[in-house]
Each structure stands twice: as C-alpha cells, then as structure tokens.
Amino acid sequence: MRRDYFELDVRDVDWYEGGEPPRQPTVSIDFYGPPEELRERFSAPGGDVLASGDLDVSLRLQGPINETDTRGVVSVTDRLTGDYVLELNADAEDVLYFIGAAREYGRNSDDKDGHYRVDVAIEGEHFATFEKSMFLVYDVDGSLLRGRSLIPSGVEL
C-alpha cells in the first residue's frame, strides 16, 4: 500500500500551549486507494475490524529530532502479528506536537480509554475510530525515544 494514498489531518490541538482547556486530540487519516485493501488490513480473524487494543501507533524519524524539517513515517501495526496496517509520511515536528498535546490531555482528564483518537476514513467516508493512549517514537537508528513517546503509566516496554 502506497504512502501517498493517505491524507493526514489533526484536530483539537490548538489549545496546547495556549492556556485553553484541554480537548482530546484527534488525527484523521483519509485513504484514497483501493478500499478493499485497507479494509483487509484492518480486519481481524473472523472479519471484524481490529480493536483499538490490537493496534500500535508509532513515528519513525528519518532524520535528527532537533531539526525543523525532519520527516518521519507514522505507522499503524497489528500488535499480534506485527504486520503494518498502514504507513504514511508526516512532518516529525507536527507529530511530536500532537503527542505533546495528547500527553497534556491525559494529565488533565480522567479519560482512561485514550489520550488521543484516530479516525480512519476511506475517500471521506468514516471507516473506524480508535481511542489510543500510546504513541511510540523511534529515532533514525530504530531506538525508542521514551521521553518523546506517549507511554501510559504502568506500561512496561
């Protein structure tokens, strides 16, 4: 599946660092490729859509973290098989800002299900929504950057 089949949009992060009350950050991913391909990748055995707990979200940096033009690859993987469900290119600074907003939302809310939401659409039509509380960040060498990642308390990696 090609990375350019995806469009990424972020909502509810304007409050972060602005003194407004926190809102749950949401990332919207719209897919513009063969619909059956995405549906198949999000399918669990038996045909149901994978549950939120069956998916991991991560950012793999493609350059130094401290440079403003560093790009990265956002990945959603099947936790059980390790298979990629989707990958898309993104500006690393924007993704790290989103993670910061999700971290702050988690600190200031009693929402136990998710610090952020992922909405997936196929050509503008809603497909699935996932509540997530973990977002892992890896450097260009594949090492986990714990201080930049969103890792809920009590989770051992």
Give the tens place of pLDDT for each residue, 67-82: 889 999 999 999 999 9
Residue 157 lies in a domain: no
Tens digits of residue pLDDT in 92-144 = 999 999 999 999 999 888 776 679 999 999 999 999 999 999 999 999 999 99
Asked if residue 48 has pLDDT above 60, the reply is yes
Structural domains in the chain (count): 1
Q: Is residue 143 part of a domain?
A: yes
**Assigned domain for 156 exists:** no
141-149 mean pLDDT: 95
- Establish if 153 belongs to a structural domain: no
Q: Is residue 154 part of a domain?
A: no
Q: Give the domain range for residue 96.
A: 3-148
pLDDT confidence of residue 154: 63
pTM flag (> 0.85): yes
Q: What is the mean pLDDT of the chain?
A: 92
List, in sequence order, every beta strand (DSSP E) within the chain.
6-11, 26-31, 55-61, 71-78, 84-91, 116-122, 125-132, 136-138
Question: Would residue 137 count as lying in a domain?
Answer: yes
